[in-house]
Every structure is written in C-alpha cells, then in structure tokens.
Amino acid sequence: MKKVNVELVVGLFMILGFAGFAYIAIKLGDVELFGQQNNYPVSASFNSVSGLKEGAFVEIAGVRVGKVTSIRLDPEEYEAVVTLSIDNGVRLQEDSIASIRTAGIMGDRFVSITPGGAEEYIEPGGEIEETESAISLEELISKYIFKDE
C-alpha cells in the first residue's frame, strides 16, 4: 500500500511539472489559445526592413502595443510590406509614423510608432502611410571608412 502511495505522489508531481512547463512555454512564446482576438491588423510599407523578423514587437513611447505578424515583398513597388497586429485598446492616428529601430547597439529590430495629431484614426486593415526604414550599421561604417576626399 505504501508503494502505491509513493507512485501516486510521483505521478501527480510529474503531471504538475508538465502543466507548469506548458504554462510557461505558452506565456513566454506569446501563443494565443482558442483564437483570442485582442488586436487588429495594420500594414506599413518600407524601403528596407533588414533585420526585422516576424514576431518582433511594436511599441509606442516605449510600451509594447503589438507585434509583427508578417513581412512580404510587394512585387510591383519592390517594397517590404509589414503587417502589424495592434492591441484593440490602441488607436493610431492617420498621420502616425512607423519606424524600424534597434533595441540597443546590436539588439533585435522592432517597429516604433510615433503617434500623429490627426483626429482621424486608421481603420482595422488600414495602412500607415509615413514610414522610416531601418538604418544599416554596415552602410554607415563603410561610408565613414571609404568616404571620398
């Protein structure tokens, strides 16, 4: 009887361990369960998105308000079209500016949105017209080193 109790306790401990691991993996992975929709899509076109990846965060004034859901090439304009998923509680003015920034000197790229002053808001599925592309550190260094004199 004592052996059965020990096996039962070990089994329950293992189940709780796996449940805790699954919970942490879902929270850290930012996975949405059961189709939770607490956001809306907005797109922005950039000349260059070098280093930006799907899943990168979107922030306004240093506060995370969404994430990058997709990056694709527009075959007609040869621009990168980035689709952002913005939290429902955040409304973007029509004259907002989307910029690609770097977290720290060599950190990950993210999208920073500077709010505008317009009274009109971007509708879900709309587009941010004003954008600033990523700055390439390699290009800046090569311009400095190989500058014409």
> Residues 115-149: pLDDT tens digits?
988 889 999 999 999 998 877 777 778 888 887 55
Mean pLDDT of 66-93: 92
pTM above 0.75, yes or no: no
Identify the band that residue 36 occupies on the pLDDT scale cut at 50, 70 and 90. low
Strands in 4-147 per DSSP E = 39-46, 57-60, 63-74, 79-87, 97-102, 109-114, 127-128, 130-132
- Cβ 130 vs Cβ 98: under 8 Å: yes
Query: How do residues 97-107 score in pLDDT, each as one tens digit?
Result: 999 988 877 77
Instruction: Please give the C-alpha separations between residue 136 and each of 2, 14, 60, 63, 105, in angstroms, as whole numbers.
Output: 67, 48, 22, 24, 12
CATH number for the region 39-136 comes to 2.40.30
